Each structure stands twice: as structure tokens, then as C-alpha cells.
Amino acid sequence: MAIDKNFLRLIHIFESIIKIEKITQQLSYGEYLQDWIKQDAIIRNFEIIGEASKQITEDFRNNHPEIPWKYASGMRNYLIHEYFNVDFDEVWKTLKEDLPSLKLQIQQLIKEFE
């Protein structure tokens, strides 16, 4: 039996959120600003979250308007196209303020597939 593509994209989003959480687990804001390797890893996972969000079918996104699909894909576009001018404060703010609720929402959607 083929695995639903929306389900796979949700898994990719969830895995990227977990990676960001692990990277930032004991990381202070000051350490984050000084560590370009961690910045790059965090940004890469935000790019994956955004790209996976774009790959989820329109019907599925429309059936789950509580998920900030457009924000996720917009952030991906910003990080890709404005790579030379990334606002690291905004990235930090997003991972601290928005990722925890997104994680819970994505977890719930994954459970609906199981």
C-alpha cells in the first residue's frame, strides 16, 4: 500500500521541528547569534518545513486552515531568496513562539493518519 504524500510531508515537518528543538535545547540567544553552524542547521530545517508545507495538497491545506501553511512556505521563500539578509532575531522569535504550537498541530494531524 502506498503511503499518503500528505502524511509523508507532515512527517518531514515534524522531524524538522524535532531537529530544531534538539539544536536549541540548551542554546541561549547569545550562543545562537554567535554560532553560524547552528544558525545554518536551524534555517535548513525551517526551509524543509516550508517546502513540505508547500507540497501538501491544496485540499488538505484547505481542510486544515488552523495550520499556518502560508506562513511556513513564506518563511521558506524568505530564507531561500533573502539568504544574504536573514533576520536572525526573527528566526529565533519564530522558533521560540511559533514552533511549539505548530508541533502540537502537526502531531495531531499525524495521529489522524494512524
pLDDT in tens, 82-114: 888 999 999 999 999 999 999 999 999 999 988
| Whether 81 is catalytic | yes
- Grid coordinates in use for 27? 542554546
Confidence of residue 2 (pLDDT cuts 50, 70, 90): low
Interval 5-27 mean pLDDT:
98
Q: Kindly tell me the number of DSSP H helices and DSSP E strands found in the chain.
A: 7, 0
12 catalytically annotated: no
Question: Which entry of 9, 61, 64, 76 is annotated as an active-site residue?
Answer: 76
DSSP state of 83: G
CA dist 38 and 23 (Å) reads 7
Number of domains in the chain: 1
Structural domain boundaries enclosing 27: 5-113
Q: What is the pLDDT of residue 83?
A: 87
Query: Is the per-residue pLDDT at 3 higher than 90?
Result: no
Q: Cα(45)–Cα(52) distance, rounded to whole angstroms?
A: 10
Q: What is the pLDDT of residues 34-74, one digit of tens each?
A: 999 999 999 999 999 999 999 999 999 999 999 999 999 99
Whether residue 18 is predicted with pLDDT greater than 80 in this model: the reply is yes
What is the pLDDT at residue 1?
58
Predicted pLDDT of residue 114: 80
